[in-house]
Each structure stands twice: as structure tokens, then as C-alpha cells.
A and B are shown apart, each in its own frame.
Chain A
Amino acid sequence: MKALTFKQGIHPEYNKDLTKDKPLKNAKRPEEVIIPLKQHIGAPLKALVKKGDQVDLGQKIADSDSFVCAPIHASVSGTVKEIRKVTDPGGNIVDAVVIEAAEEDKLNSGLEKHDSLDQLDSASIRKIIREAGIVGMGGAMFPTHVKVSIPDDKEVDYVILNGAECEPYLTVDHRVMVERPKSIVFGLKALMKAADAPKGIIGIEENKPEAIESMQDAVAEENNIEVQTLETKYPQGGEKMLIEAILGREVPAGGLPLDVGVVVNNTSTAAAVADAIRDGKPLYERSISITGRGINSPQNLIYRIGTNIGDLVEEAGGLKEDAAKVITGGPMMGAAQKHLNVPGVKGTSGILVLVREEVENYEPSPCINCAKCVDACPMFLMPTQLVNYAKNDMVDELEEWQVLSCIECGSCSFVCPAKIPLVHHLRLGKAQVMAKKREEN
């Protein structure tokens, strides 16, 4: 099968060998978890527990009446020690429930177990996905039940599972595809049923042959699901790039994949959907790659949401002497952390530690118009021009030149020989346009 891809993009070093052959294993059960009460894009949640409450594993501890939200569950059985403000990996200050773990876990989620999808209709699948608090696990954390709630005037013919894992270093989706292919397929079928979509496609980059083989075996019996090989190129896993590559469809600017009849979910998200339906298990743990040259023993772990990332780092042998930068997520879009006292959340797919020589300080020099950024941008924007507009507060021009289409993938900054932090300026440019729009309304 021919590997498909999108136009433009970049080829960073992938460095997946550090962890790609390390099987997923359970991290040590934490003695205390700090669970931020906002782990999704959407409305804020209200805590359902208070200090001193006893909670069970999988018990819902925060929820809201809003549609666009995902409830949060206890990731250990234990006692609520306090509710306090913490800084999440994204740098936001949010309320968090601190739970002191009891001796043993007792799963009590209130979710029923279903061996097959036969007795479930699309609405009840969506309900389970919502109640299980499932969000996009690639990092964006958009509530999954919202994604598969298709408005009456829209029709979806494909659910695409994103197994591209185009971020360098990360190997969690890879491991889940190798180790749990049947769960992914079960989850995909549930998502297809929920979205009323007849066909499913699992897109995987060529640099993961074991994952491709594993998924191909798992879908051998399925006549409406196929595995599509994708060229190894960043940002292949961006949903717009994925749809362009696989179906040749263009998501309209400002629109959603829904507008071209597609729903895109991460492969790990699909596995979480399967866990929720079959085992009544809400999203209280996830897999993560602890990797990079600054980690003593890189590995893939399954950890409870709310575990301190410092504990996970320790479990992977700790930081090396010359560790200089700790990133949650991948190197292209992840967030650098000030310290390791940060709880892992539903979207935290990696902890990447770079050593000093890998983070040489980039001193930007003037733009020489080389247009490498223009040639790299998968959205066909002109980053160099947009940066000039952003620096000069030219908001109308920013809007006209489509700054809002920027997906912040970082390809422009990556290729820039003058080391200009282009995507950083583009984010500021987007904020300028959004501010203007808010003012107008």
C-alpha cells in the first residue's frame, strides 16, 4: 500500500528508538494524587467531593451541566485531603482535588459493563463516553463525546483514528497499538456507531511497522475498517493533515472535520473508549513515554491521573546530571516545565527531558527571507510575513493573511535558520485577532 501524506511539513529527528520497544508497564501506585479539575477544552467543572470525603477508584469527583465538558474521576481509592489551586502542565492555575491513597483500590465508577456493542445505541455509547470523562488523549483534551455528537444537518462517513504519533520521541500510541490492537478496534467501532459513521480508517506512520502489522491483524476480519500507512512527516497527526492525506478533503478554515464528514480521534482515546464500555472503567489512568537523553532509563508507563511527574521521572531512573529542560508532551508542541512538581493530566502523553547540549540558547538573528517557513507550513500560511504583521500590530492584515488558521505545529520555528521563534509570534498574532473580534462583538 502506498504511504499517503499531506503537502509541505518537516522531517525532524524522531528519536523513538529510546522507548519504542519498551512494553507498557504500570507505574508505582502513588501515595497521593493531585487531580486538576479542568482537564478538557470547555466549561469549568464543579467539585462533587469535599475535604475528608472517602472516594473510590473511578468515582466521579467533578462534573458540570454544560455539554462541552468531561467529568473527572478519582484515580485512587482514598481520602480527600484538600482542594487547592495547582499549576497544571499547561501553566494554568486550576482547582485540584488532593487524594491520599488508601491501602487498596476499589473500582466503583457506576458504569455498567458491556461485552459487545449490540445492545447499545449511539446515544448510550455517547453517554458512556461522557460519563467516563474521555477526552482527546493526543494532547488537545477535547471532550470525545462532543466530537461524536453529530448535528442533525451533518453526516459523517469516516471515523479516522490517528495513530500517526508524529511528535518525535513519543511512543505511547505506538505501544498501545502494538499491545492492545483489539481494544483500539473495539473503541473505533464504538466511535463509529456513536457518530453513525459507516467506515473507519486507522492512519499510522511508516516508521511504526510493528504497529501497522498489529493493527492490520486486528482489522483483518473487519470489512469496513482499514489501516492506512502514512509517510513519516511532521505534523502528519494534525487532524487537518490526516484528513487531507487520507481522504484528500480540506477542512474549511474555521470549520471542523465534521464539515467534511469526518471525525478524528486518537488511537489511545479509542482504547480508553473500549475500557469504559467493556470494563466500566473511566479515564483515570493513561500511558506515557518518559524519554529523552536526560532520563536515566527511558520507558513507557501507565500512570494514574494526578501523579506527580517528578515521581514518574524517578521511576524512569531520574534525571541525568546534565538534564536541562523538562517538557510535558513532545518536543514540537509540548510545554517546558519550571519544575517537576506538576500533576500529569489526561492529555499528558510524554515527559521529555533534554540535556544541556540539546538546548543551546538560540539567539534570533534578522530574517533573511529564505522562505523555509513558507515552504514548511502545512497550512500554507506565510509565517515570515505574519510575524512582521504581528510585531507591528497590523491586526487587519493578520486576519486577512489567515493567521487564525495556524495550528501552532511549530514547523516554521523548526526550520528557521535565523532561529526566530515564529510560532510564538503567530500565537501572539492570533491573540491579537481574537481580541479584536471580541471587541467587535
Chain B
Amino acid sequence: MNNELIVTSSPHVRARDSVQKIMWSVVIALLPAVFAAVYFFKARAISVILTAVAGAVLTEYIFQKIRKKQITLKDGSAVVTGLLLALTLPPAIPLWTAFFGSVVAIGLGKQVFGGIGQNPFNPALVGRAFLTAAYPVLMTTWTVDGVSSATPLSQMKMDGISTDSWNLFVGQIAGSLGETSALALLLGFAYLLYKGYVNWRIPLAMVGTVFLGSFAFGADPIFHLFAGGLMLGALFMATDMVSSPTTKLGRWIFGLGAGLLVVIIRLWGGYPEGVMYSILLMNTAVPLINRYTRPRSLGEVR
């Protein structure tokens, strides 16, 4: 008979999910957008993406080494951050800038708070916010192969020129690497939904609010749905588990708030695009949202 029985507290069976599986599934879900980026921006896309991912992974490694923590690169979370940041960058960005953005994303956005699970903000957006503030020109230069063009959102904002909806949807437009093709992003999101690794309330509320909001204020709702970083932000950044609410009602509120901020910034703000700031601002409200949206427990009398 076996005399070394294992004793732990119940339950004695567990679901097969793991943080690692979730993170790598997000990477897989971003692949259609990566392929779209490579299709539209060719080799340039590959080098920006690889640089950003390398920057994120390296920074994570160095921080964990310095802090004498377990090296957790294989959990995939740094790869996700690097990849997401890359997808928000203009294709023409100098590679060192992309690298620097990833260093800030992981360093300031994640590791200073204690690493995975502790960051109040989406790390990729912290990186992007830093680059936008530090290198505004590089971050808004939409030049590919020497031909410069404006994004649909700034064309709309500056000159009142609209872009064909179908081109917006498939990604036949100027813009950041990953925000051009809504189709590719939706494909990836569908995969995550199927795996049960993403919640749908935040993106539905966010996209719905932008749609209805822009419609209500006389803008073209279809245009605002597929232009700029809304799809990328709503599907993959606002849904970042660590920095979004844990209650169902909280997720609706989070998405609604982020959507409202997008509409306000796009229609009346100084920037053509507001997805990044709207998500970062809502990130700050998460603890408060969780606190006030605790569900009524079964049998609880309030």
C-alpha cells in the first residue's frame, strides 16, 4: 500500500485553465491582426512587432532578475503586452522607439506595481501613452514606403473627409499596425469568446456606446465604429482582465464609460482619437466600480 498519500484541502479536482493558457490564447487571438498588419505594411510590420515583443520580454526578464523573483516569461503575459503595444504603433515608427515603448509598458506599467495581476492600468496603453507624450510627431506620422497619408479619423477631424466603410472594415486604410482591419480583430475575439477567456460585456457596451453616441450627435456611427483604435481597444485592451472590473454590472459600466469618453474626445476633444485615454481613465475607476457593483448574494437582504 502507498504510505505517502497527499493531503490538501478540497476541492481535489481543478479545471484545466491556467493563466498561461489564457495569455497564449490572447496571443493566438491577435494573430489575424498580425497577419493583416503584415499584409498591409509588409516587412515593416514584422520588424516593429518583433522589436516591441522583444522589448517587453527583455524588460520583464530584467526586472524579475533584479527583484530576485521567479522568471515567469513563459506565462506569456509580456508577449501579450509587447504585441498589443506594437499593434497600436504607426508602421513607420523607428524601431528604437517601439523598443523603448515596450520597456516603459512593462517597467512602469506592470513591474513597478509588482508584476502580473497587480497593474492598475493596461501596460500596453501605458507604453503607448508614454510614446504619445514623448514623441508626438513619430506617433502620428503615417508614412509607408515614403508615401504619407492621414488616418481616416484625422481626415475626418481636420478636413471633414469620410472614408469608405468597407475599406475601414477590412483595413484598406492608413493607421496603426493593428487597428486597420476590424475584421481580423473580430476573428481573434471570436476565438477568445469560444475559449471563454474574454468577457463580452465590456466591448459590447463600449462599441455600442460609441455607435449610439456618435449617431446621437450627428456623426457617422459606422465610420466611428471601424475607424481608429476602437476595435483593438474595445476587444483586446478594455477587456484586459487585470485592469477591468470583476462584476457583470461593473463591466457594463466600464464599457459604457470608456465608450462615452471616446465619443467626447473624438467629437469635441483636441485629438482625433481617444480610445487610449478613455480606457486608461476607466482603469482608474475599477476599484470604485467593483466596490459599488457587488452583486446581491443569494438570500442577502439589502
Residues of chain A whose beta carbon lies under 8 Å from any beta carbon of chain B: 10, 12-13, 168, 240, 244, 250-255, 310, 318-319, 321, 323-327, 331-340, 352, 354, 358-359, 362, 365-372, 374-375, 378-382, 384-385, 401-402, 405, 408, 410, 413-419, 421, 423-424, 427
Which 7 A-B residue pairings sit nearest by Cβ, starting from the closest? A410-B11, A366-B117, A371-B246, A417-B17, A253-B299, A402-B297, A336-B7
Closest to A333 in B: B10
Q: Contacts A255-B299, A369-B244, A379-B298 given; indicate if A417 touches B22 (C-beta within 8 A).
A: yes
- The reply to whether A369 and B241 form a contact with Cβ atoms under 8 Å apart is yes
Of B37-45, B266-274, B288-296, the one contacting chain A is: B288-296
Q: Smallest Cβ distance from B73 to chain A, in angstroms?
A: 13
Q: Which of B17, B244, B295, B299 contacts A240 (CB 8 A)?
A: B299
Chain B residues near A369 (CB-CB < 8 A): 117, 241-244, 246
- Assess whether A405 is in contact with B299, with CB atoms less than 8 Å apart: yes
Where the two chains meet, the residues of B that have a C-beta atom closer than 8 Å to any C-beta of A are 1-3, 5-15, 17-19, 21-22, 72, 75, 114-118, 199, 241-248, 290, 294-301
**Contact indicator B118/A240 (Cβ below 8 Å):** no
In the complex with contacts A332-B13, A336-B12, A366-B297 CB distance below 8 A: no
| Contact A418 B14, CB 8 Å, known A365-B75, A368-B117 | no
Number of A-B contacts (CB under 8 A): 165
Q: Cβ of B72: which chain A residues have Cβ within 8 Å of it?
A: 365
Asked if B299 and A368 sit within 8 Å, CB to CB, the answer is no
- Partner of A333 from B11, B15, B290, B299 at Cβ < 8 Å: B11
Minimum C-beta distance from B114 to chain A (A): 8
Q: Give the nearest-CB partner of A260 in chain B.
A: B299
Q: A365-B75, A366-B117, A367-B117 are in contact. Are A359 and B12 (CB under 8 A)?
A: yes
Which residues of chain B are within 8 angstroms of A10 by Cβ–Cβ distance?
15
Inter-subunit contact B298/A240 (CB<8 Å): yes
B residues near A324, Cβ cutoff 8 Å: 2, 5-6
Q: Are A402 and B300 in contact (CB under 8 A)?
A: yes
Q: Which of A321, A327, A337, A366 contacts B115 (CB 8 A)?
A: A366
Q: Which of A337, A378, A421 interacts with B5 by CB under 8 Å?
A: A337
**Contact residue among A323, A362, A365 (Cβ-Cβ distance under 8 Å from B14):** A362
- Rounded to whole Å, the gap between the CB of A7 and the closest CB of chain B is 8
Q: Within the assembled complex, what's the spacing in Å between the Cα atoms of A334 and B14?
A: 14
- Judge whether A331 and B116 touch: CB under 8 Å: no
B22/A370 in contact, CB under 8 A: yes
Give the chain B neighbours of A340 by CB distance below 8 A: 1
Question: Are B10 and A325 in contact (CB-based, < 8 A)?
Answer: no
Say whether B7 contacts A337, CB under 8 Å.
yes
Q: Which residues of B contact A374 (CB under 8 A)?
A: 246-247, 295
- Cα(A250)–Cα(B15), bound, Å: 28
Task: Assess whether A424 is in contact with B14, with CB atoms less than 8 Å apart.
Answer: no
Given A369-B242, A370-B241; A401-B294 close (CB under 8 Å)? yes
**Contact A380 B295, CB 8 Å, known A369-B117, A371-B241:** yes
* A residues near B299, Cβ cutoff 8 Å: 240, 250-255, 379, 405
Closest to A371 in B: B246
Q: A338-B5, A369-B242, A402-B297 are in contact. Are A331 and B11 (CB under 8 A)?
A: yes
Residues of A near B2 (CB, < 8 A) are 319, 321, 323-324
Residue of A nearest to B77 (CB): A368
Residue from the set A255, A326, A371, A405 with the largest chain B CB neighbour count within 10 Å:
A371
* Smallest Cβ-Cβ distance to B14: which chain A residue: A414
Known contacts A332-B12, A410-B10; 17 further A-B pairs (Cβ under 8 A): A255-B299, A325-B7, A336-B9, A339-B3, A366-B114, A369-B242, A370-B241, A371-B199, A371-B245, A380-B295, A380-B297, A382-B290, A405-B300, A416-B14, A418-B19, A419-B14, A419-B18
Min CB gap B297→A, angstroms = 4
Q: How far is the CA of A321 from the CA of B11 in the complex (A)?
A: 23
10 A-B interface contacts by CB (under 8 A):
A324-B5, A333-B11, A334-B10, A338-B7, A366-B118, A371-B241, A380-B295, A385-B246, A402-B300, A405-B300
Looking at the assembled complex, report how far the CB atom of A377 sits from the nearest CB atom of chain B, in whole angstroms.
Answer: 8
Partner of B15 from the list A310, A415, A421 (CB cut-off 8 Å) is A415
A367-B117, A368-B242, A371-B246 known; A380 vs B298 contact (CB < 8 Å): yes
Inter-chain contact A372/B9, CB cutoff 8 Å:
no
Choose from B1, B10, B11 the contact partner of A318 (Cβ within 8 Å). Answer: B1
Q: Give the shortest distance, in Å, between B195 (CB) and chain A (any CB).
A: 11
On chain B, the residues within 8 Å of A244 by CB distance are 298
Cα of A319 to Cα of B8 in the assembled complex, Å? 19
A253-B300, A337-B7 known; A331+B13 contact, CB < 8 A: yes
Q: Which residue of chain A has its CB nearest to the CB of B290?
A: A385
How many Å lie between the Cα of A365 and that of B76 in the bound state?
13
A242 to B202, CA, bound (A): 32
The residue in chain A whose Cβ has the minimal distance to the Cβ of B118 is A366
- Give the residue name and chain of the B residue nearest to A238 (CB): B298
A334–B9 Cα distance when bound, in Å, is 9
Cβ A381 vs Cβ B11 within 8 A: no
B-chain residues with CB within 8 Å of residue A168 when the two chains form the complex = 13
